[in-house]
Chains A and B, each alone.
Chain A
Amino acid sequence: MKRLLSGVCVFIVGLAFSYSASAQGVPAKAFENVTLHKADGSTVEDAVIVWRNGVIEAAGKNVSIPFDAEVWDGGDSLHVYPGFIDGYAYWGSPDQKQFEDTPKYRGKPSYERAGIRPERQAREAVKMDSDDFKKVMKKGFTTAALGTKGYMIPGQLDLFLLQPELQIGDLYKGGVGMQMQFEESYRVYPSTVMGIMARFEQLMMEAKALNEWQGYYASSSTEIAPPPNDPVLEALYPVMQNEQRIFFKADSKEMIERVFALQDKLDFDWVLVSGMEAYKVADELKQRDVPVLASINFPKKPEWKKEDYEEEGEVTDEMQGFRDKRWNAYLARYRNIKKLMEDGVQVGFASADLELKEMADRMKDWSEYGDVTPEEMLKVMTANTADILVKGSALGGLKKGQVASFSIMNKPFIEEKAAAVYSVSAGELNELND
């Protein structure tokens, strides 16, 4: 009897383990009769996608749906895309803090007053219940590296798997990079571009000195004063030691070249963010192996280029010549991403300063004038961005084993009024119809 009981116990425990190992405890979910748009540009019609426990189990044609799956029927009209990834977003970020005061020691302000906040984590600043998240999910985004608005060094980027209302558990990776930009402080040092150039150099020297001091203090027992506690400088250590990249937001060729100059002096790894004129320095970016998270925050089209524009008078040759030149300058901006791709620069996507309400129009401009195919656009916004943010991550695709983060859209994403009706983020399904 005793042996029988112990045998039953062993069987039950064994069953429990085998159940857990095959993860059958969590029921699967699936969409059927959908068109899959893979990150490599290929499409599969009448397809099925199955996911379980936050991971894609299968995606393609003739995929058998597990017996325990909850199934949604796409009715042959829904399109499944890998979730778009925003490589540098301000979604949910409070507005840049405005300072009205004039401190007594304007040349030596506090770190906060100077806008130097490398220790600040986005997850502590971002409004987790912001409406922004649902809005971007409707546009097909399931993942975003969230940053905060600020001055010279606003804080750390945190990579989130989006939900309509974020929780700390939705954080995929914290501290993906340190944000930096040429944003001058108000009435305190650094208040100019040359001030920012000098201040960053000083910060790196100060961080190095503190780091060495801490090292000496730790290794030596006597006659060394204890180093001060400086979380701001300590937050620069990973950058200083090339363990973390700077996500440097810069647009004009001249500003990008200033980052080159800083890199030459201070030897840090970095990612160019926004980079509206990056095409002008594509060779240098390629040579330095600097990836670009490019923005599509293009200038709005001139009036005379709009479809409903009616010409009031005669367009003289001179006027036409000027318009042609101006339009060529617009085209150069629209084709920024394509030029970078052609020149072998790794390019991902960043909304950066783009306002949410402008996104559809700018996406349309990109598609129309950017000289890119929908497949290229998709790759930039998914696999490329994923690879820039976290090399070798399981984000940005629809392959088996990848994170189940994808969008189910009512039509191909570049078509007018395309919107996600469902969003699956880290396996969790959200119905996005209002």
Chain B
Amino acid sequence: MDITSSNPSPDLTFMGVDREKIPWWPTIDLQDCDGCSGDYDCLKFCPHGVYKPLENSSRIAVENPYNCVVFCQACKKMCPKNAISFPSKRAILDLIKNERAK
């Protein structure tokens, strides 16, 4: 059975490091997120299928974190509530460098 078919996470590496070893994806502040009253600007914006609305709640969740493009944080700028955050680029780059050095 192809377990990846329901979760189209890329087999790709990023800068030679397995994508799944790179913790780069958005974090949602559920205190601030109101799902844009059902519009979900981040969901509409992101073409990589990272987001999915939470069931039984008018908020958004990260469904496919490894689909997120490393170092892209364009959705953060789309969020009217400023409820999206990302890890530090420098920390992620250091992590990538360390993984490459292994």
Question: Is chain B a partner of chain A in the same complex?
Answer: no
